Structure 1
């Protein structure tokens, strides 16, 4: 008897249905810091392509007025000595407070009014105020980008849907140290937790949410009122 294909198994089980996108997405950029994007560090890999793709996405998100959140993993000396995760993955102990490794990659042009969240676990939600922040800005959908796909991106996508948010993961905006865990995690996310989509799809989604420019008549009236007040 032929073994059923993976696609058939998941389809039969009822996985992989598309999410319903909202009208107020927020972008969560997970750990695109130099400790993950600059290959001179052992914890990192060459993330040039996903970083530049995320920069394009951020331009569209900002134009649409979508909230943007950056995360960084950062440890102080006491945490380095005590955290169980750092016993399992001791290389992560290099991500220490004040080091370049925990700074956001400047190719993403982070802005002072964009929330920067420091975490010590994989998920951007674990032990942080991210859920409260997303609620306060009225987000109804979460777009997840960043590193690594098999680690903090996947954990964040799982927790986002568990907090009630539809999740989108643009496939070219996430990266990992190796191809196999990257591909497996994207498959897993797409089947169970969110939609793994192309960048053009997300750009079109954000473009549709951009505020309409003022009508010429309205613009003329606004200019006249401003001149009268001057």
Structure 2
């Protein structure tokens, strides 16, 4: 890492990707990363840093899903139990599908929001970049489900928007050893939860 890519944890936000009950139940390894994600959300809340839970919502006819998922039925449908955040979300964090599908951020805590994305990347046709800019965020820390798809797309799109970017290995289901090489080649820091938590608590950039 260098002066342009090193994480600035004092100006960071956590993006928790697609950690919804249906995906946790269906995607291998996602249940196992939930404890690490809980540690991250707790640290970010304590530090008063922004958290954005990124979610998918598939209409029952599949019309708003990616082409490769148009035939998928009965998953993360609006108002369904399986669409809700998994693990131990903040109190009062039941999704408001009408608000989310309209493109608005749903506030569930102090600088903690839910945002709907219509495709793989959390930046595609969403207000995420504006949401982060309003909070002077320079660094995004990415965790969740499932690295080869939505987290990977979000990480790459973050770099294209000149954001400093962190992938949290043990808080991303589907992470592979090849991912370390791939991500660092694009200036993305690959860290473990313990390193991120320590950096958030001390507000000191960890060496990579």
Please give the TM-score of this superposition, normalised by the length of structure 1.
Answer: 0.72
Structure with a larger share of its residues in helix? 1
Aligned match of 2:6: 20
Which residue number in structure 1 is paired with residue 147 of structure 2? 149
Q: Which residue of 1 aligns with 2:49?
A: 66
The total of aligned residue pairs comes to 184
Which residue of the other structure, out of 114, 133, 136, is the alignment partner of 1:135?
133
Deviations 1:7-52 (A, max 9, x none): xxxxxxxxxx4532223100000011112112xxxx4334232111
Query: In the superposition, relative to structure 1, how do residues 71 and 174 fare at CA in structure 2: closer, same or farther (>3 Å)?
Result: same
SS of residue in 2 equivalent to 1:124: coil
Per the TM alignment, residue 93 of structure 1 is displaced from its structure 2 partner at its CA by 6.3
- Could you report, residue by residue, the CA deviation over 1:41-75 in whole angstroms, capped at 9, with x for unpaired residues? xx433423211101011111111111000011102
Consecutive unaligned residues of structure 1, counting only runs of 5 or more, are 1-16, 211-230
RMSD: 2.3
Q: 2:37 aligns with which of 47, 50, 54?
A: 54
Structure 2 gaps, min length 5 = 94-107
Does the CA contact (< 8 Å) of 2:16 and 2:143 recur in 1? yes
Cα distance in 2 for residues equivalent to 1:200 and 1:82? 37
Out of 150-159 and 94-103, give the one that drifted further.
Answer: 94-103
Q: Any idea what the Cα deviations from partners look like across 1:60-108, whole Å, max 9, x if unmatched?
A: 1111111000011102245x1465x244563376232122222111324
Equivalent residues of 2:7, 2:189 under 8 A apart? no
User: Residue in 2 aligned with 1:228?
Assistant: none
Whole-Å separation in 2 of the counterparts to 1:159 and 1:48: 26
Cα offset, 1:161, TM superposition:
1.0
- 2:98 is matched with none
Q: Shift in Å at residue 144 of structure 1?
A: 0.3
Q: Which has the larger radius of gyration?
A: 1
Distance 2:138 2:150 in 1: 21
Which residue in 2 is equivalent to 1:196? 190
